[in-house]
Amino acid sequence: MLHVTSEIGRLRKVLVHEPGREIDVMVPAMMDELLFDDVLFGDRAREEHAMFRRVLQLFEVEIVEARDLLVETLADPEARDWVLEVLLRETAPALRERVEEASEEDLAAILVTGVREPTSRTGVDVADLFAVPPLPNWCFQRDPQIVLGDGVVFAAMAAPARHREALLSRAIFRFHPDYAAAPVIHDPLQPLPEHPLYLDQHRPRLEGGDLLLLSPEVIVVGHSERTNATATHALARSLAHRLDGPRWMIAVEIPRRRAYMHLDTLITRVDHNEALVFPPVILPGGHESASVCETDLYDPDLKTTRREDLLSALKIRGIDLKPIPCGGKDPVQQQREQWTDGANAFALAPGVITLYDRNVGTAEELARHGYRVLDAEDLLLGRNEVDLDDDARVCILIPSHEMSRARGGPHCLTHPLVRS
């Protein structure tokens, strides 16, 4: 079962992946290609991720581990054949027998952790070190798919280092017995009749961090480093005239900068009437203010109207959000904390959010707006309590020394499967 129509509905079930051996085998020469800004200390990153998961469990959220789903999916012979058909196109001939004969658990490890080249190889490039490269970004489960309503939209990852993640997502949602019945709303890699072939920069790119579900009627998409207009226009055609889908798609053109890799690094909704934002891009008058346009998905011609800014566009559609600046009011602190995912909060319920603890200025700003700021450890040890049914407004700070250096916050690490 899938059901998600907002960013803040009570979280019931969520998809995550604990960073595994795939982050332990990274070397500096791999970082650019694999989209990391540092080599992580894996044990510490896993400790931080485990505490995050324990916080979710404290609020009775069902946690689904993506690797478990993959192993269970590969037990289906049809799914296994489908995955191998794609994987073997890029696998060295010497590995074919090993891959074909691997158990489900071993094949899942090959797909996620990769396969080292023989130790006699002395190069430093990814191809020198790995016959099958690792997937260190797979902990960011926000991106390979988008659960929209009761169905799924598949991603088309921008960077070659993440292409296999989209393959794994398709395998899980096409073949796993818990999710195979969910309708596929859109697959950007399925050529449309009028566009039988995509070339280079026109190839669709669509990643989950660039799509926010603001209400059952309104979705917001970011045109960013990772998502392009080719993909969002195709998505609009797939969503057009669906009575069970959104009416309005608002597109936000954000600067193509590494710091702003996805829209959810610049804005996340935290309550019915509030959002964490990075002011220079999201608010009008900022030195990099995003351009915004709105598409009526019920219009036969998919009519598009330009809007002044994102928040005013949302207000027209009945979503009136007060901006809370990540980093507070200091422009230097805003830039520092946007980089460490200060605008990338993840809501467990309206007004109850998780945030990386290193974003001190953001936490202080939330406190000024009436949020009670708590450390995850204090909550888990019973020194503080939160009742989701008493309209609490709470920010729970998650340890982030290592995970923040992977350039993805709590919103990036999670993919809601069910919200109420």
50-74: per-residue pLDDT in tens? 999 999 999 999 999 999 999 999 9
Q: What 3 state SS string does the chain have?
A: CCEECCCCCCEEEEEECCCCHHHHCCCHHHHHHHCCCCCCCHHHHHHHHHHHHHHHHHCCCEEEEHHHHHHHHHCCHHHHHHHHHHHCCCCCHHHHHHHHHCCHHHHHHHHHHCEECCCCCCCCCHHHHEEECCCHHHHCCCCCEEEEECEEEECECCCHHHHHHHHHHHHHHHHCCCCCCCCEEECCCCCECCECCCCHHHCCCECHHHEEECCCCEEEEEECCCCCHHHHHHHHHHHCCCCCCCCEEEEEECCCCHHHCCHHHCEEEEECCEEEECHHHHCCCCCCCCEEEEEECCCCCCCEEEECCHHHHHHHCCCCCEEEECCCCCHHHHHHHHHCCCCCCEEEECCEEEEECCCHHHHHHHHHCCCEEEEHHHHHCCCCCCCHHHCCCEEEEECCCCHHHHCCCHHHHCEEEEEC
Whichever domain contains 31, its CATH number is 3.75.10.10
Give the predicted TM-score (pTM) of the model: 0.95
Residue 345 lies in a domain: yes
Whether 2 maps to a domain, the answer reads no
How much of the chain exceeds pLDDT 90, in percent?
A: 76
Domain carrying residue 389: 11-419
Count: domains in the chain: 1
Q: What is the pLDDT of residues 364-395, one digit of tens each?
A: 999 999 999 999 999 999 999 998 888 789 99
Residue 122 domain-assigned?
yes
pLDDT tens column, 126-177:
777 888 889 999 999 999 999 999 999 999 999 888 989 999 999 999 999 9
Q: Is residue 31 included in any domain, yes or no?
A: yes
Q: Which positions are catalytic?
A: 412
Model confidence pLDDT, tens digit, residues 233-257: 999 999 998 888 999 999 999 999 8
